[in-house]
A and B are shown apart, each in its own frame.
Chain A
Amino acid sequence: MSTIVLLLVTGLGLGALYFLVASGLSLIYGLMDVLNFAHGSFLTIGAFAGYELSRLLGGDSWWTLIASMILGALVGALAATATELLLIRPLYKRLIEQVLVTVGLALASVALFEGIWGTDALFTQGPAFLSGTTEILGARIPNDRFLYIIVAALVLIGLIAFLKFTRYGLIIRAGVENRSMVTALGIDVRKAFTLVFAIGGAAAGLGGVLASHYFGYVSPQLGGTLLIFAFIVTVIGGLGSLAGAAIASVVVAVFQQFANFYLGGTGDLVVVLLLAGVLLVRPSGLLGKKA
């Protein structure tokens, strides 16, 4: 029983990180049809920004952690906004070129990060509480998992509230359904594009700071590592569906944890099989729009 509880909660914690990356990916694809391969770079630069601030302020206080998360989100949002304005917007309606430019940016940014911070992992330090454990139903749960779950839940609630109660949220929901009709109502949908990129970048940057505590280090490859699973989550959840991304994040991460424990470390293989199974049964994903 305690093992199952442990795997479930750690799976939820990992799923929270997947969601922070996948939510932006899903929104960006849903509105703009852009598969953003540079999304991992927003995560990595957010993680490095958080690491630098943590090093500056001393990494063992909650205030430092909170400040790092805010800075990571801001830097992620700025990087994403610049990417949309400078690289994606000039290629508007040229979807293949847009995808290719994000692939190029992903490769170039890893090289840039290696040039600035080197290729070695840089170890992170957080509040002592995060290194401890809490016992639940006999399972000793690493405390940091609770942080990831709470932050991801807050981001999910914030995104839902934004989409539901603001005019830009309304534009984004409508744009995911029928972008050209939104423009035919006199709305400059490109502003929504930039905003969605910024929101996705902020979530990824925040995820980067949390991922640096999950793994215990920052490296130029951090974003790429999580991006693969975030893409799988996005496809399983249904491209364009925030709720789908949230559900799929948890499902994928929990499956991964259970398979790693019970099936001899085959978590990654099981996730790919899960992806194949969902695509065979529901090609548009769990909650995706019909093709």
Chain B
Amino acid sequence: MKPPILRVDHLRATVAGQQVVEDVSLEVGTTGVTALLGRNGVGKTSTIKAILGLIERNGLIEFDGERIDREQTHRIVRRGIGYVPEDREVFSKLTVAENLRLAERDLTPNRALVEEIFPDLTARGQQAAGTLSGGQQQMVSLARALLNTNRLLLVDEPTKGLAPKIVAEVSDALARAATTVPILLVEQNLQVVRQLAETVVVVEGGRTVYSGAAHELLDNDELVMRFLGVHAADGAEQHQEGAQ
């Protein structure tokens, strides 16, 4: 069995002096999608940010066997970690083309792949990213990560607030990306999790409380209700209602 591409052990993190991650441990394999689940405010986004060094953290973080928990964010990313943040965080005053150009790290970025998956972005190259719809901004955010040859993607709530049709497009794009690069995915939409993830890690109160195969959790209504506060079958509908 191959060692994990990402190993997080006893991670703690703070924002403005407040403890937001208490004790998170997880592993991401070299292939497939690992979903990081939990109710709102339990520390999922903070865990992603802590892995990237965007917030103060301590504990062990290993990427491809090397410790990265003391490294600066730009160095961590340059090791081959793509990041798709919660709420897209596109540069609203820059054009779509400038947003993508800024993200290019490699000498030969995968522009053809991005144009193939998101043809709409090419047509909107000169449009200010801030004037795009939420779904289009999510495309920009995903495209920024897919432009480079990464060894891991950290994707934070990519379908949040999106209409069902766009959710399907984003899921398809992630499924395609997952064939070439492992993904650590924070996601509230259980239908998307069911479609993409092989393994899941559940966080509660800033601590890891469950990890295992995705289907074992998602097929167990009692566990889903206990950890996520929804019925397994309701997860997608509740998420979509939030997008209205």
Contact = CB atoms under 8 A, between A and B. Distances in A.
Contacts of A189: 74
Nearest to B150: A186
Given A173-B94, A177-B92, A177-B93, A184 B54 contact: yes
A178 B101 CA distance: 16
Interface string A177-192: 1101111111111000
B166 interface: no
A16 interface: no
Nearest to B101: A170
A183 B94 contact: no
A184 B85 contact: yes
Contacts of B52: 184
B134 to A, nearest CB: 17
B111 interface: no
A183 B52 CA distance: 10
Given A184-B83, A185-B102, A185-B105, A173 B74 contact: no
Secondary structure class of chain A's binding surface, majority of residues: helix
The listed residue with most B CB atoms (<10 A of its CB), out of A181, A186, A189, is A186
Interface string B72-103: 11100110000101000101111000100111
B9 to A, nearest CB: 23
A171 interface: yes
B207 interface: no
Given A170-B102, A174-B102, A181-B89, A186 B94 contact: no
Contacts of B12: none
Interface residues of A, number: 17
Contacts of A171: 102
Interface string B90-122: 011110001001110100000000000000000
A188 B71 CA distance: 12
Interface string A150-186: 0000000000000000010011011001101111111
B57 interface: no
Nearest to A183: B73
B144 A185 contact: yes
A178 B88 CA distance: 12
A178 B52 CA distance: 16
A188 B91 contact: no
A184 B51 CA distance: 11
A173 B78 CA distance: 21
Contacts of A170: 94, 98, 101-102
Interface in A202-253: none
Contacts of A178: 89, 91
Contacts of B91: 173-174, 177-178, 181
B93 A185 contact: no
B149 to A, nearest CB: 12
Given A183-B72, A185-B102, A186-B77, A173 B144 contact: no
A188 B105 CA distance: 12
B124 to A, nearest CB: 18
A142 to B, nearest CB: 39
Contacts of B89: 178, 181
Given A171-B102, A173-B94, A181-B85, A187 B54 contact: no
Contacts of A188: 72, 74
Nearest to B106: A186
A186 B72 contact: no
The listed residue with most A CB atoms (<10 A of its CB), out of B91, B101, B144, B148, is B91
B93 A187 contact: no
B95 to A, nearest CB: 10
B135 to A, nearest CB: 19
A188 B89 CA distance: 18
Contacts of A185: 74, 77, 83, 102-103, 105, 144
Given A183-B74, A184-B77, A185-B103, A174 B85 contact: no
A187 B99 CA distance: 13
The listed residue with most A CB atoms (<10 A of its CB), out of B54, B74, B92, is B74
Q: Which 3 A-B pairs have the closest CB atoms?
A: A186-B77, A183-B73, A186-B78
Interface of B: 52, 54, 72-74, 77-78, 83, 85, 89, 91-94, 98, 101-103, 105, 144, 148
10 contacts: A170-B101, A173-B94, A183-B74, A184-B73, A184-B77, A185-B77, A185-B83, A185-B102, A185-B144, A188-B74
